[in-house]
Amino acid sequence: MMYLLLVFIVLLMAAAVGWSIGANDAANSVGTAVGSKVLTLRQAIILIVIFGFLGAFLQGSYVTKTIGKGIVPINELDKNLALYLAVVATFSACAWVVLATYWKMPISTSHSIVGAVAGAGLAINAAVNWRVLFDIFICWIFTPIGAAILGYIFYRILKNLFYRIINRKYLRVIIAILIILSGCYVAYSWGANDVANATGVIAGVGILTPHMSVVFGGLAIVLGIMTWGYKVIETIGSEITHLLPIMALSAQLASAINVHIYTVFGIPVSTSHSIVGAIFGVGLVRGARVINLRIVKDMALCWLATPFISGAISFLILKVITIVIKI
Protein backbone atom coordinates (compact mmCIF):
# COMPACT_ATOMS: atom_id res chain seq x y z
CA MET A 1 0.00 0.00 0.00
CA MET A 2 2.81 2.41 0.92
CA TYR A 3 4.59 1.55 -2.34
CA LEU A 4 1.52 2.43 -4.43
CA LEU A 5 1.06 5.67 -2.50
CA LEU A 6 4.68 6.63 -3.19
CA VAL A 7 4.25 5.82 -6.88
CA PHE A 8 1.18 8.05 -7.03
CA ILE A 9 3.00 10.91 -5.29
CA VAL A 10 6.02 10.58 -7.63
CA LEU A 11 3.74 10.81 -10.66
CA LEU A 12 1.88 13.74 -9.13
CA MET A 13 5.09 15.64 -8.36
CA ALA A 14 6.58 14.85 -11.77
CA ALA A 15 3.42 16.25 -13.34
CA ALA A 16 3.84 19.34 -11.15
CA VAL A 17 7.44 19.75 -12.36
CA GLY A 18 6.26 19.39 -15.96
CA TRP A 19 3.58 22.01 -15.32
CA SER A 20 6.12 24.38 -13.78
CA ILE A 21 8.44 23.88 -16.77
CA GLY A 22 5.65 24.84 -19.13
CA ALA A 23 4.69 27.81 -16.97
CA ASN A 24 8.23 29.17 -16.53
CA ASP A 25 10.02 28.18 -19.75
CA ALA A 26 7.32 28.72 -22.36
CA ALA A 27 8.72 32.23 -22.82
CA ASN A 28 12.05 30.85 -24.02
CA SER A 29 10.51 29.72 -27.28
CA VAL A 30 8.65 32.65 -28.80
CA GLY A 31 8.79 35.30 -26.09
CA THR A 32 11.08 37.24 -28.42
CA ALA A 33 8.47 37.02 -31.21
CA VAL A 34 5.85 38.46 -28.84
CA GLY A 35 8.27 41.18 -27.76
CA SER A 36 8.91 42.16 -31.37
CA LYS A 37 5.13 42.22 -32.08
CA VAL A 38 5.30 39.46 -34.71
CA LEU A 39 2.98 37.14 -32.75
CA THR A 40 0.21 37.76 -30.27
CA LEU A 41 0.43 36.05 -26.90
CA ARG A 42 -2.34 33.61 -27.86
CA GLN A 43 -0.68 32.64 -31.16
CA ALA A 44 2.66 32.15 -29.40
CA ILE A 45 1.20 29.82 -26.79
CA ILE A 46 -0.48 27.64 -29.47
CA LEU A 47 2.82 27.22 -31.34
CA ILE A 48 4.75 26.45 -28.15
CA VAL A 49 2.23 23.75 -27.21
CA ILE A 50 2.51 22.01 -30.59
CA PHE A 51 6.26 22.12 -31.14
CA GLY A 52 7.26 21.78 -27.48
CA PHE A 53 5.35 18.50 -27.29
CA LEU A 54 6.85 17.29 -30.58
CA GLY A 55 10.37 17.90 -29.26
CA ALA A 56 9.59 16.05 -26.03
CA PHE A 57 8.02 13.13 -27.89
CA LEU A 58 10.69 12.70 -30.57
CA GLN A 59 13.96 13.47 -28.75
CA GLY A 60 13.11 13.80 -25.07
CA SER A 61 14.66 10.45 -24.15
CA TYR A 62 18.25 11.71 -24.68
CA VAL A 63 18.43 13.91 -21.58
CA THR A 64 15.97 11.73 -19.61
CA LYS A 65 18.69 9.08 -19.28
CA THR A 66 21.12 11.60 -17.77
CA ILE A 67 18.65 12.91 -15.18
CA GLY A 68 17.35 9.42 -14.30
CA LYS A 69 20.62 7.53 -14.00
CA GLY A 70 23.59 9.78 -14.71
CA ILE A 71 23.65 12.00 -11.60
CA VAL A 72 22.54 9.42 -9.01
CA PRO A 73 22.04 5.75 -10.06
CA ILE A 74 18.39 5.77 -8.98
CA ASN A 75 17.73 2.46 -10.73
CA GLU A 76 20.30 0.72 -8.49
CA LEU A 77 18.79 1.89 -5.19
CA ASP A 78 16.31 0.02 -3.01
CA LYS A 79 12.84 0.46 -4.56
CA ASN A 80 11.32 2.33 -1.61
CA LEU A 81 14.41 4.50 -1.11
CA ALA A 82 14.43 5.35 -4.82
CA LEU A 83 10.79 6.41 -4.63
CA TYR A 84 11.42 8.65 -1.60
CA LEU A 85 14.33 10.24 -3.47
CA ALA A 86 12.12 10.79 -6.53
CA VAL A 87 9.31 12.35 -4.47
CA VAL A 88 11.60 14.73 -2.59
CA ALA A 89 13.68 15.73 -5.63
CA THR A 90 10.65 16.53 -7.78
CA PHE A 91 8.95 18.41 -4.94
CA SER A 92 12.03 20.51 -4.20
CA ALA A 93 12.62 21.37 -7.85
CA CYS A 94 8.98 22.23 -8.43
CA ALA A 95 8.67 24.39 -5.31
CA TRP A 96 11.56 26.63 -6.32
CA VAL A 97 10.50 26.93 -9.97
CA VAL A 98 6.93 27.86 -9.00
CA LEU A 99 8.21 30.52 -6.63
CA ALA A 100 10.49 31.97 -9.31
CA THR A 101 7.64 31.93 -11.82
CA TYR A 102 5.52 33.91 -9.36
CA TRP A 103 8.34 36.47 -9.30
CA LYS A 104 8.34 36.40 -13.15
CA MET A 105 12.00 35.34 -13.25
CA PRO A 106 13.01 32.91 -16.04
CA ILE A 107 15.18 30.56 -13.98
CA SER A 108 16.41 27.14 -15.07
CA THR A 109 14.28 24.08 -14.37
CA SER A 110 17.31 22.04 -15.45
CA HIS A 111 19.40 23.61 -12.68
CA SER A 112 16.58 23.04 -10.22
CA ILE A 113 16.08 19.32 -10.87
CA VAL A 114 19.81 18.55 -11.16
CA GLY A 115 20.47 20.29 -7.82
CA ALA A 116 17.49 18.54 -6.21
CA VAL A 117 18.54 15.06 -7.39
CA ALA A 118 22.12 15.63 -6.22
CA GLY A 119 20.94 16.97 -2.85
CA ALA A 120 18.64 14.00 -2.31
CA GLY A 121 21.45 11.62 -3.25
CA LEU A 122 23.76 13.20 -0.69
CA ALA A 123 21.07 12.91 2.00
CA ILE A 124 20.96 9.10 1.65
CA ASN A 125 24.71 8.71 0.98
CA ALA A 126 24.09 7.50 -2.56
CA ALA A 127 26.89 7.42 -5.13
CA VAL A 128 26.62 10.89 -6.68
CA ASN A 129 28.45 11.01 -10.02
CA TRP A 130 30.54 14.12 -9.50
CA ARG A 131 32.18 13.83 -12.93
CA VAL A 132 28.80 14.08 -14.64
CA LEU A 133 27.82 16.99 -12.39
CA PHE A 134 31.08 18.78 -13.22
CA ASP A 135 30.51 18.28 -16.96
CA ILE A 136 26.95 19.60 -16.63
CA PHE A 137 28.19 22.61 -14.63
CA ILE A 138 30.76 23.47 -17.32
CA CYS A 139 28.04 23.28 -19.96
CA TRP A 140 25.86 25.57 -17.83
CA ILE A 141 28.62 28.20 -17.93
CA PHE A 142 29.06 27.95 -21.69
CA THR A 143 25.33 27.85 -22.53
CA PRO A 144 24.64 31.63 -22.24
CA ILE A 145 28.10 32.53 -23.53
CA GLY A 146 27.72 30.37 -26.64
CA ALA A 147 24.21 31.69 -27.26
CA ALA A 148 25.39 35.30 -26.87
CA ILE A 149 28.21 34.76 -29.36
CA LEU A 150 25.88 33.07 -31.87
CA GLY A 151 23.25 35.78 -31.37
CA TYR A 152 25.81 38.53 -31.97
CA ILE A 153 27.14 36.82 -35.13
CA PHE A 154 23.69 36.02 -36.55
CA TYR A 155 22.43 39.56 -36.02
CA ARG A 156 25.54 41.08 -37.59
CA ILE A 157 25.14 38.86 -40.66
CA LEU A 158 21.36 38.97 -41.04
CA LYS A 159 21.09 42.72 -40.47
CA ASN A 160 23.32 43.42 -43.47
CA LEU A 161 22.15 40.50 -45.60
CA PHE A 162 18.41 41.13 -45.41
CA TYR A 163 18.53 44.82 -46.20
CA ARG A 164 20.81 44.23 -49.19
CA ILE A 165 19.16 41.30 -51.00
CA ILE A 166 15.45 41.54 -50.09
CA ASN A 167 13.08 44.12 -51.48
CA ARG A 168 11.88 46.35 -48.63
CA LYS A 169 8.31 45.75 -49.76
CA TYR A 170 8.55 42.09 -48.76
CA LEU A 171 11.15 42.40 -45.99
CA ARG A 172 8.78 42.65 -43.04
CA VAL A 173 6.66 39.68 -44.15
CA ILE A 174 9.68 37.44 -44.80
CA ILE A 175 11.29 38.29 -41.47
CA ALA A 176 7.99 37.66 -39.65
CA ILE A 177 7.71 34.21 -41.24
CA LEU A 178 11.31 33.36 -40.34
CA ILE A 179 10.79 34.55 -36.75
CA ILE A 180 7.79 32.24 -36.41
CA LEU A 181 9.68 29.28 -37.91
CA SER A 182 12.74 29.85 -35.73
CA GLY A 183 10.47 30.19 -32.68
CA CYS A 184 8.96 26.80 -33.49
CA TYR A 185 12.49 25.38 -33.65
CA VAL A 186 13.25 26.87 -30.24
CA ALA A 187 10.08 25.28 -28.85
CA TYR A 188 11.08 21.92 -30.32
CA SER A 189 14.62 22.00 -28.88
CA TRP A 190 13.23 23.20 -25.54
CA GLY A 191 10.74 20.31 -25.35
CA ALA A 192 13.46 17.82 -26.27
CA ASN A 193 15.83 19.05 -23.56
CA ASP A 194 13.56 20.11 -20.71
CA VAL A 195 11.02 17.27 -20.61
CA ALA A 196 13.70 15.22 -18.82
CA ASN A 197 13.44 17.56 -15.86
CA ALA A 198 9.97 16.15 -15.24
CA THR A 199 10.43 12.60 -16.49
CA GLY A 200 14.01 11.68 -15.61
CA VAL A 201 13.24 10.45 -12.09
CA ILE A 202 10.16 8.54 -13.31
CA ALA A 203 12.28 6.64 -15.81
CA GLY A 204 15.02 6.22 -13.20
CA VAL A 205 12.79 4.46 -10.66
CA GLY A 206 11.12 2.40 -13.40
CA ILE A 207 7.53 3.53 -12.82
CA LEU A 208 7.02 4.17 -16.53
CA THR A 209 9.04 3.23 -19.59
CA PRO A 210 11.24 6.03 -20.99
CA HIS A 211 8.84 6.51 -23.91
CA MET A 212 5.73 6.62 -21.70
CA SER A 213 7.41 8.97 -19.23
CA VAL A 214 8.28 11.40 -22.04
CA VAL A 215 4.65 11.48 -23.19
CA PHE A 216 3.51 11.97 -19.59
CA GLY A 217 5.94 14.84 -19.07
CA GLY A 218 5.10 16.41 -22.42
CA LEU A 219 1.40 16.57 -21.53
CA ALA A 220 2.21 18.12 -18.14
CA ILE A 221 4.35 20.77 -19.85
CA VAL A 222 1.52 21.56 -22.26
CA LEU A 223 -0.78 22.15 -19.27
CA GLY A 224 1.74 24.56 -17.72
CA ILE A 225 2.06 26.50 -20.97
CA MET A 226 -1.70 26.90 -21.32
CA THR A 227 -2.37 27.97 -17.73
CA TRP A 228 0.52 30.19 -16.58
CA GLY A 229 2.96 30.45 -19.47
CA TYR A 230 2.12 34.07 -20.23
CA LYS A 231 3.82 35.40 -17.07
CA VAL A 232 7.48 35.00 -18.01
CA ILE A 233 6.78 35.69 -21.70
CA GLU A 234 6.33 39.33 -20.67
CA THR A 235 9.80 39.41 -19.08
CA ILE A 236 11.60 37.67 -21.97
CA GLY A 237 9.75 39.59 -24.65
CA SER A 238 10.12 43.13 -23.43
CA GLU A 239 12.07 43.66 -20.20
CA ILE A 240 15.63 42.62 -21.18
CA THR A 241 15.95 44.81 -24.24
CA HIS A 242 13.62 46.22 -26.90
CA LEU A 243 13.67 43.73 -29.78
CA LEU A 244 13.51 44.61 -33.44
CA PRO A 245 12.24 41.79 -35.70
CA ILE A 246 15.70 40.82 -37.04
CA MET A 247 17.01 40.81 -33.46
CA ALA A 248 14.25 38.36 -32.48
CA LEU A 249 15.08 36.09 -35.43
CA SER A 250 18.80 36.12 -34.60
CA ALA A 251 18.18 35.41 -30.91
CA GLN A 252 15.82 32.51 -31.60
CA LEU A 253 18.13 30.86 -34.13
CA ALA A 254 21.09 31.18 -31.78
CA SER A 255 19.18 29.77 -28.82
CA ALA A 256 17.63 26.84 -30.72
CA ILE A 257 20.91 25.68 -32.26
CA ASN A 258 22.70 26.07 -28.94
CA VAL A 259 20.19 23.96 -26.96
CA HIS A 260 19.75 21.34 -29.68
CA ILE A 261 23.48 20.57 -29.72
CA TYR A 262 23.48 19.91 -25.96
CA THR A 263 20.31 17.82 -26.27
CA VAL A 264 21.88 15.45 -28.80
CA PHE A 265 24.67 14.79 -26.27
CA GLY A 266 22.15 14.21 -23.47
CA ILE A 267 23.19 17.25 -21.43
CA PRO A 268 20.46 19.05 -19.43
CA VAL A 269 21.05 22.75 -20.05
CA SER A 270 18.97 25.81 -19.46
CA THR A 271 16.85 27.12 -22.30
CA SER A 272 16.44 30.22 -20.12
CA HIS A 273 20.21 30.71 -20.13
CA SER A 274 20.31 30.16 -23.86
CA ILE A 275 17.60 32.60 -24.94
CA VAL A 276 18.65 35.31 -22.47
CA GLY A 277 22.27 34.91 -23.58
CA ALA A 278 21.18 35.17 -27.22
CA ILE A 279 19.11 38.30 -26.52
CA PHE A 280 22.08 39.80 -24.69
CA GLY A 281 24.30 39.04 -27.69
CA VAL A 282 22.03 40.69 -30.25
CA GLY A 283 21.51 43.62 -27.89
CA LEU A 284 25.27 44.22 -27.78
CA VAL A 285 25.29 44.89 -31.52
CA ARG A 286 23.28 48.04 -30.79
CA GLY A 287 25.34 48.83 -27.69
CA ALA A 288 25.17 47.85 -24.01
CA ARG A 289 23.02 50.89 -23.22
CA VAL A 290 19.92 49.24 -24.78
CA ILE A 291 20.14 46.28 -22.38
CA ASN A 292 18.36 46.33 -19.03
CA LEU A 293 21.37 45.31 -16.93
CA ARG A 294 19.34 45.25 -13.71
CA ILE A 295 17.05 42.52 -15.08
CA VAL A 296 20.07 40.57 -16.38
CA LYS A 297 21.78 40.83 -12.98
CA ASP A 298 18.67 39.61 -11.13
CA MET A 299 18.38 36.66 -13.52
CA ALA A 300 22.05 35.75 -13.09
CA LEU A 301 21.70 35.72 -9.29
CA CYS A 302 18.64 33.46 -9.53
CA TRP A 303 20.49 31.10 -11.87
CA LEU A 304 23.46 30.82 -9.52
CA ALA A 305 21.23 30.25 -6.51
CA THR A 306 18.88 27.73 -8.13
CA PRO A 307 20.83 24.41 -7.90
CA PHE A 308 21.99 25.21 -4.37
CA ILE A 309 18.53 26.20 -3.11
CA SER A 310 16.72 23.22 -4.66
CA GLY A 311 19.58 20.95 -3.56
CA ALA A 312 19.45 22.24 0.02
CA ILE A 313 15.66 21.85 0.18
CA SER A 314 15.93 18.32 -1.18
CA PHE A 315 18.77 17.36 1.18
CA LEU A 316 17.03 18.65 4.31
CA ILE A 317 13.62 17.11 3.55
CA LEU A 318 15.01 13.67 2.69
CA LYS A 319 17.37 13.75 5.67
CA VAL A 320 14.42 14.38 8.01
CA ILE A 321 12.39 11.60 6.32
CA THR A 322 15.23 9.07 6.70
CA ILE A 323 15.56 9.94 10.39
CA VAL A 324 11.83 9.82 11.15
CA ILE A 325 10.95 6.75 9.08
CA LYS A 326 14.37 5.10 9.46
CA ILE A 327 14.67 4.01 5.84
> Is pLDDT of 289 > 70?
no
Confidence label for 212 from pLDDT (cuts 50, 70 and 90): confident
Residue 54, Cβ density class (10 Å: 0-12 exposed, 13-18 middle, ≥19 buried): middle
Calculate the average pLDDT of the chain.
84
Predicted confidence (pLDDT) at residue 324 exceeds the cutoff of 60 = yes
Query: In DSSP terms, which residues pair with 291 in a beta bridge?
Result: 241
Least Cα distance to 233 among 18, 15, 17, 39 occurs for 39
pTM: 0.84
Contact 277, 147 (CB under 8 A): yes
| Residue spans per domain, the chain | 20-319
DSSP string, 215-273: HHHHHHHHHHHHHHTHHHHHHHHHTSBPPPHHHHHHHHHHHHHHHHHHHHTT----HHH
CB 302, CB 105: distance < 8 Å? yes
Q: Choose between 283 and 169: higher pLDDT.
A: 283
User: In this predicted structure, what is the pLDDT of residue 28?
Assistant: 65
| Residue pLDDT, tens place only, 226-280 | 887 766 665 655 555 556 778 888 988 999 999 999 999 999 998 878 888 888 8
Q: Which of 100-109, 249-258, 296-305 has the highest mean pLDDT?
A: 249-258
Task: Name the pLDDT band for 311 (thresholds 50, 70, 90).
Answer: very high
> Which of these ranges, 1-10, 116-125, 211-220, 315-324, has the smallest mean pLDDT?
1-10
Query: What does the pLDDT average to over 86-97?
Result: 88
Of 56, 81, 327, the C-alpha closest to 204 is 81
Average pLDDT (26-38) is 70
For 122-131, the pLDDT digits (tens) are 999 888 899 9
pLDDT-derived band at 207 (thresholds 50, 70, 90) equals confident
